[in-house]
Structure 1
């Protein structure tokens, strides 16, 4: 993510780097069993709450969210992709820095603006990169 002088993220310049891509792609590749608490077919709104319906399709699944790669310049989809990986990591990785509850809460709080979404996505991205 590139920050301008005002420290506000430039959403149009969000680029996925290799480490971030590896962790998110790891979950979408299904190389490891998904945590039982979250079936792959679970809808984003069921997992993250009905407030997610304001930004995401009602039938969008968590698996689809991790597989998406067509919206790298959209802060809300980048947030969803990183939040989905973060949620899976929170259940599967003992030392992951966020609990499942924190991931869900932080995603909902970040839906208020593109800037908030991009900043939270970047934070999750850093935590997700560390899981590789």
Structure 2
């Protein structure tokens, strides 16, 4: 079974979000407005995509809206949209992941994070248990 990190929150489109660059301490904790949140894609998504070969991430300073497309992730199998799990302004992108997208497959919850955002609004997010139930993952 695919690993689901219990401390993270997840979008229905397979992005994960961690408040303040670290995982929340309780399942289902909200992402605070004004906080910096780190965003990545789940191991469920990386396994479904296969070998990731290209990332098109939003630029630093750009604004994203929860639930809307904010970039693309390309694998040897397909190209998929990245969806914003929160609304806000992009403060940083993971240049290492852009240079070597395979890191997203190797460590989706660590070195394979995608971008950081100053949160203005939380989108509809699932707890790890809800995400695992919908996607067959393991906590």
Q: TM-score, normalization: structure 2?
A: 0.28
Q: Report which of the two has the higher share of strand.
A: 2
Whose RCO is larger (CA < 8 A, sep 6+)? Answer: 2
